[in-house]
């Protein structure tokens, strides 16, 4: 996927710019998740909202790769590689979406599963984020289905480790009546933020 297409899809996901929707419509967007609108689009709540949308988008794309990579025909493989490119583009912004003042105990009334450990162990968080980015960039260069699936498993392992260390959530919250896609999202990493 050309970088321009990946960037336009990222803009659509993050809801940036008034023309993003028009450009993205032409590109047949890979994902359909958009952030909620906060009262102050530059305030700390906007960071929480954006990172939750970004994480949910990466999870949706990851689930699709996980479910389809081993059996993908050529056209599906190309789409999954494009999904991997979008994951890599989104992954670049992860550390930037957790600035000081956006932690769970700093924003009363805002729901976030981000652990205070993100800010307390910032260097570790950034190392894991860099490792996830490197894995995502390797994923998007997969030459075939087998490599795509294997590289996705590597990325999933890093993401799960990060979520285990830096998220606080009830792993069984919302699982009642979950269908196969919901169960796959749960296995991929639980909560989006």
CB count within 10 Å of CB 71 equals: 10
Where do the structural domains in the chain lie, given as residue ranges? 3-189
Rounded CA-CA distance 122/95 in Å is 9
Tokens 């008034």 label which residue?
A: 18
| pLDDT score for 80 | 92
Q: How far apart are the first and last CA of the chain?
A: 28
Q: Which residues pair with 167 in a beta bridge?
A: 114
| pLDDT score for 183 | 53
* Per-10-residue mean pLDDT, the chain, length 193: 45 42 37 50 80 89 89 89 92 91 85 92 96 96 93 95 87 56 52 51
User: In CATH, what is the architecture of 3-189?
Assistant: Up-down Bundle (1.20)
Contact 135, 147 (CB under 8 A): no
User: What's the pTM value of the predicted model, to 2 decimals?
Assistant: 0.71
């Amino acid at each position: 996927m050309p970088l321009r297409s990946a960037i336009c899809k990222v803009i659509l996901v993050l809801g940036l710019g008034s023309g993003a929707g028009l450009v993205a419509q032409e590109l047949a967007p890979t994902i359909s998740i958009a952030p909620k609108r906060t009262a102050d689009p530059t305030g700390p709540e906007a960071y929480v909202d954006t990172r939750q949308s970004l994480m949910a988008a990466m999870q949706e794309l990851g689930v699709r790769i996980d479910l389809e990579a081993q059996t993908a025909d050529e056209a599906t493989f190309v789409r999954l590689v494009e999904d991997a490119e979008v994951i890599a583009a989104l992954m670049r912004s992860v550390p930037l979406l957790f600035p000081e003042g956006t932690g769970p105990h700093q924003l009363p009334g805002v729901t976030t599963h981000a652990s205070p450990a993100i800010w307390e162990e910032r260097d570790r968080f950034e190392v894991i984020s860099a490792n996830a980015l490197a894995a995502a960039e390797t994923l998007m260069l997969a030459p075939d289905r087998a490599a795509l699936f294997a590289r996705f498993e590597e990325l999933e392992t890093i993401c799960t480790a990060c979520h285990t260390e830096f998220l606080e959530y009830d792993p069984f919250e919302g699982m009642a009546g979950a269908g196969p896609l919901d169960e796959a999202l749960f296995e991929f990493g639980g909560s989006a933020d």
